[in-house]
Amino acid sequence: MEIQFVVVVNAEEQYSIWRNDCPVPPGWSLEGMQGPLAECLKYIDTVWVDMTPASLRRANQGSLV
C-alpha cells in the first residue's frame, strides 16, 4: 500500500507535506490536498509560486508605498 500524504501550510504561507497517518505539527494546517507523494509535490509546485515568507512580503509591500 502506498503511503499517503497531506499538504500543510504555515502562517508564513510556506508549504510542506506530512504523512496523513501522523498528526499535523503545531503551527501548520491542512491545505486540502492529499494523496501520493508525487501528487502532493506537484500541487505544491503549482501553488507555491513565491517562496518569500508572508511577513517579508508584507513588509516589502509597505516599503513600496
- pTM equals 0.82
**Structural domains of the chain sorted by starting position, each given as residue range(s) with its CATH number in brackets:** 5-64 (3.90.820.10)
pLDDT per position as a tens digit, 6-47: 999 999 999 999 999 999 999 999 999 999 999 999 999 999
Beta strands in the chain (DSSP E): 5-10, 15-19, 28-35
Q: Tell me what pLDDT residue 63 has.
A: 61
Q: Tell me what pLDDT residue 25 has.
A: 93
Q: Which three cell numbers stand for residue 28?
A: 501548520
Determine contact, residues 64/58, Cβ cutoff 8 Å: no
